[in-house]
Structure 1
């Protein structure tokens, strides 16, 4: 047997992989299917399978491409993929390297709905404190919906049947299709300016595509910013749209009408009950008052009014005596307190102390004058002595004894060497001065 014609498994695998990589139809493949066996690896890669009802293929999405996704791939999601087909040599298994992935069809809509909901939640628009109260007894209700809808006819019938007093204004609105978003936004603005007590935004049931206008972020923000309370009745019980999260009350069609107004029959029953209770209270009070009146009419004093006059006269006399006694006692007590205070004032009369202080002040003043006179005399004698001493050493006294002093340039000359021949000097005597010119300077000691 010639073994050279046999290939190794590796060689065959490499050849098949080469064929895959060279086939242009396998370099950009577009697939749709359901995710299965999804595994998110710690290194960021995603390993999974993509399948339909008849076949399955392995797939991998590397971290670089996975980081670009705007959702988290999970089991059972229907997706659209783009990538290239290659062969995994270790197992001889072909697989797709996914470059792009997005939710398929309805799944994509649900993903967008969740994203819009999270955005509103982050901004606090879903918080309960933003909910406005629905009026209990509205006078005017504006309905934003299609006039051709079977549900709207049921709603208007329900409103007029339950509460005939309410005025209903229908703003005909496109609720599906390309023109629906602008139509809903325009009529919400109109409804908010009508002065209505409540606005109902409604349409019948349908698929998520049919109801998508009410999942648009712009429509939800318009509902949130309404000044008028808004009840949303979009779809059936299981149909929850984005506007339902931001409206003031969500009531699936057709129960939105029942939530907007009270039932007049219930009000009539309640009014009847209140009327009966009011009658019972009034009759009970009348009965009690009649019994009191009967009791008073049988009172013996009312049958003989003189007894009332006599009783009140005696009471007046007793009160007069009591007041007179009280006043007499009060005057006596006050007179006693006055006498007591007068005695206290006489005992504490400040006049003697004032006279004593005045005499002491006079003695102190005389002593102060005497001491001041003695001090002034002593100071005068000392001053005269000091003057005599100063006069004894005064230059004037020296001049009076025949001495004089000489100055040059207003400075006293103490030595002849400080002068020069020709200098003009001035000599001062006891009386008068003499100017002279130096003709000779002798510095001999």
Structure 2
């Protein structure tokens, strides 16, 4: 057997890798897909799989490029990848070696949607307490939708079939495209001020791009701020947009939104029929019961002879009158006894004697206080006279009357020779006046001039 024509697996893999690396169409490729099996390795490398509806391709981005990413790759993100395709020899699988990864346009929109959804949820916009009750029997319904859409005709047909009494007003609105946000918000404001009982915001199915107007935050806030109860029916049952979370009620489809906005006339007729039967049965039972009572009363012996009723009530009235007279007389007599006892008690407990005794004591205290005050005043007068005599004996005026005088220099009393000097003008106060002198010589007790 000739073995030279057989290749090893490793040799074939190397050959294929060489072919991949030399192919100019594989050295620079641009791929679009959805990330799955994303793994962030501790070394900084990023491992992932890129898939679409037809195929799956393994991929890797080394740490030197992964560190430059402007977002955090996660499962389910739609991305645009630039890199090269080659074979990983150990496994024999071909894979893309990514140099750059960017969020796809839709992926960026979804990232923004998740952020807006989280913000609104955290601020309480999704709470049930904000949900308004949908009227059970509306008179007027406003529909915000596109007249060119098949969903509008289905809704109108459903409303007329289920509840013909309702009046339907249609606000023809652009439901997709760059200008749709403004027109949807304007139609919401107009419908909210129209006096409608219920508003339906709906459109048929489409791609995520077609439905994206209803994922815009300003549209969701406009729905939340509506004063009129609003039902949303956007797309198909699997489509859930941001406005569905803030509306008062979410329907899976536009037709379902029309169905839940009004009652079904078949159900109403059934309820009316049941109510009619119930009322007829209740009236029949009431009439039968009243007939039986009337029959019972008509056979009562007193009704056959009304005088019995009159006589019996007359006797009862006389008995009640006698009883009342007796009770009133007894009550008056009892009150008289109590009043007499009260008068006697007041007479016995009169405070007049205590008042007189108190007046006598007060007069004695007043006389005693007068005597004490007079004695105190006289004692104080004598003490004051003695003090005045002592003060008078010590008065400088009396000293002057005895021939003494005192001298001042610049207003200060001169007590020693040291307080004056040659040339000073001094003032001497005598009994009957003052003398101004000029000092020409000062001697001390030793006779020495100072």
Please state which band the TM-score falls in when normalised by the shorter chain: 0.7 to 0.9
Superposed counterparts of 1:250-399, under 5 Å:
250-370=251-371
2-structure distance, mates of 1:394, 1:55? 131
Superposed counterparts of 1:400-439, under 5 Å:
403-408=402-407, 427-428=430-431
CA RMSD, 1 decimal: 4.7
1-structure distance, mates of 2:159, 2:199? 13
Post-superposition offset of 1:310: 2.5
SS at match of 2:284: helix
Q: 1:66 to 1:241 in 2, by over 3 A?
A: farther
Q: 1:218 to 1:58 in 2, by over 3 A?
A: same
Post-superposition offset of 1:293: 3.2
Q: 1:391 to 1:297 in 2, by over 3 A?
A: same
Deviates more, 1:295-304 or 1:172-181: 172-181
Residue in 2 that maps onto 1:205: 205
Superposed counterparts of 1:27-176, under 5 Å:
28-32=28-32, 38-48=38-48, 58-62=59-63, 65=66, 68-70=69-71, 72-74=73-75, 79-83=79-83, 96-102=96-102, 109=106, 112-113=109-110, 115-124=112-121, 125-175=125-175
2-structure distance, mates of 1:131, 1:258? 19
1-structure distance, mates of 2:217, 2:413? 113
Gapped runs of 5+ residues in structure 1? 1-8
1-structure distance, mates of 2:434, 2:207? 140
Q: Is the 8 A contact 1:198 1:260 kept in 2?
A: yes
Provide TM-score, normalisation by structure 2.
0.72
Post-superposition offset of 1:95: 6.5
Q: 1:405 to 1:325 in 2, by over 3 A?
A: same
Post-superposition offset of 1:416: 11
Listed one character per residue, the Cα deviations across residues 348-368 of structure 1 (whole Å, up to 9, x for unaligned) are: 233333333334444444455
Q: Is the 8 A contact 2:162 2:264 kept in 1?
A: yes
SS at match of 1:123: helix
SS at match of 2:232: strand
Listed one character per residue, the Cα deviations across residues 175-214 of structure 1 (whole Å, up to 9, x for unaligned) are: 4566655554444444334322222233333444444444
Q: Is the 8 A contact 1:405 1:412 kept in 2?
A: no
Provide TM-score, normalisation by structure 1.
0.73
1-structure distance, mates of 2:343, 2:212? 103
Residue in 2 that maps onto 1:224: 224
Deviates more, 1:280-289 or 1:160-169: 280-289
Gapped runs of 5+ residues in structure 2? 1-9
1-structure distance, mates of 2:391, 2:329? 92
1-structure distance, mates of 2:182, 2:415? 123
Count matched residues.
Answer: 421
Superposed counterparts of 1:229-248, under 5 Å:
229-247=229-247, 248=249
Q: 1:49 to 1:444 in 2, by over 3 A?
A: closer
2-structure distance, mates of 1:178, 1:434? 118
